[in-house]
Structure 1
Amino acid sequence: MTTALQSPPPSHPLLRLRLAPRGDLQRTIDGAWWPHSYDLLAELPRLLAGLPRAWGHITSVTVNGATWSAGPGRMLVANQVVRLRRNLTASAPQTIVLLTPGQGRWDLVVLPPDTTEEAAEPLMATAAGGHV
């Protein structure tokens, strides 16, 4: 009997993030994020680790409370406390807002984890182009 060897799944799935180019123009959307799940405690550290250093230390994150799994009001990410806020309004159900004191606010479109790659690619490209 032979057994086919399978590669183990990656311990850290790739970060699926596309950001709009930096420039002087004000944008309503700064890019797109396609998480692997709605488990904020698992997904947020990966997202924050993949952001540009120029964005500084994100101290506050606001997500749609009806979409993401429940969690604490704060979490430790890379030895820094990040405040988690949940928004229950329908005004921006598919976004995540990242705040850095003194440096700015970044809004990312969040693609549902079960989005197919074929559907995700044009959505992410559009969001990164700032045309959402």
Structure 2
Amino acid sequence: MTLLVKPLHAPASTERGARLQAPDVLTPIATVAARLGITARALRHYEAIGLISSHRGKRSLRLYDRDTIEMLEMVSLLRRIGVPIAQIRSVMLRRVDQVSYRQALQDLLGSALLKHLQYVGFIENLIKHLDSQEADSYCF
């Protein structure tokens, strides 16, 4: 279920070439959670720690606007690759300045990539060790 909320301020004129402001689309918590493959509990947690904010609908139903959903998409991707919430928060705080945000995101992704490459190297070394030794002589 997607709710439409009329904008607070309509444009003063509709002269030729003037763009009408589209209404904000607000999406319920269950829909956002299902779309992103995360739990509603995780969304409530992100709100509790100040990472995101929501609008409230009937019976205090949490509703999310497009900007918040876009941010949650990035948060979800970063969490899937193991980035801690504290680091995600630090990057998301830079969203007001797109140049700073992009740089911080690139730095974060670069360090995540290095970490995962180290894991790959560790796994490759374990496989080599198992190939050269009897499996039962290696203690995990």
Normalised by the size of structure 2, how large is the TM-score?
A: 0.29
Which one has a bigger Cα radius of gyration?
A: 2
Q: Which one has a larger percent helix, Structure 1 or Structure 2?
A: 2
- Relative contact order, CA 8 A, sep 6+: which one is greater? 1
Normalised by the size of structure 1, how large is the TM-score?
A: 0.30
Q: Which one has a larger percent strand, Structure 1 or Structure 2?
A: 1
